[in-house]
């Protein structure tokens, strides 16, 4: 039961916040720098695969240990966010002509914040339901 709650809450928060950020911040930023290199829509299969696996990994590596041990979620989740979003952004910046430092900075900071907030929300709700240890 804790895994289901963690996954559902973490995924809901992650997807909602990321949808807003992608629509109103990242899409205009990427369009400004990449223009017609962007697709008009998204490829759903890779997006679904990323979100599903990323959230599962986040729960396995951060949320479940925090829930069981009563440890903090914030820093470990932010580190996971930095590693994931940083890998994408710094690699793209290193090999793609029109990649811009603003895209790197914005997305890496966002990935850290989004990952930490989503994991913390999942653990908070699980604890609120009596499924884990002490406060975040």
pLDDT tens column, 33-59: 999 999 998 999 999 999 999 999 999
If you average pLDDT over residues 79-100, what whole number do you get?
Answer: 97
Residue 133 has pLDDT above 70, yes or no: no
Q: How many domains does the chain have?
A: 1
If you average pLDDT over residues 66-75, what whole number do you get?
Answer: 92
What is the CB-side half-sphere exposure of residue 126 using CA atoms within 13 A? 30
Residue 135 has pLDDT above 60, yes or no: no
Question: Does residue 135 sit within a domain?
Answer: no
Domain extent, residue 29, equals 2-128
What whole-number percentage of the chain has pLDDT above 90?
91
Question: Does residue 48 sit within a domain?
Answer: yes
Question: Does residue 134 sit within a domain?
Answer: no
CA atoms of 21 and 122, how far apart (whole Å): 20
Sign of CA dihedral 64, 69, 17, 110: negative
Considering only CA atoms, which of 87, 80, 96 is closest in space to residue 34? 96
Question: Does residue 29 sit within a domain?
Answer: yes
Position 131 scores a pLDDT of: 92
Q: Contact at 8 Å (CB) between 33 and 103?
A: yes
Please, which residues have CB within 8 angstroms of residue 62's CB and are 6 or more apart in sequence?
Answer: 73, 76, 77, 80, 119
What is the pTM for the complete model shown? 0.94
Residue 67 has pLDDT above 90, yes or no: yes
């Amino acid at each position: 039961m804790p895994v289901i709650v963690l996954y559902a809450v973490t995924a809901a928060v992650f997807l909602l916040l990321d949808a807003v950020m992608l629509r109103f911040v990242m899409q205009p930023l990427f369009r400004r720098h990449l223009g017609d290199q962007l697709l008009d829509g998204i490829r759903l299969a890779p997006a679904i695969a990323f979100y599903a696996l990323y959230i599962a990994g986040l729960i396995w590596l951060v949320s479940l240990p925090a829930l069981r041990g009563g440890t903090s979620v914030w820093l470990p989740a932010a580190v996971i966010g930095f590693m994931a979003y940083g890998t994408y952004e710094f690699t793209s910046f290193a090999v793609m002509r029109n990649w811009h430092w603003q895209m790197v900075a914005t997305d890496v900071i966002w990935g850290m914040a989004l990952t930490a907030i989503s994991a913390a929300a999942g653990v908070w709700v699980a604890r609120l339901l009596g499924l884990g240890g002490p406060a975040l």
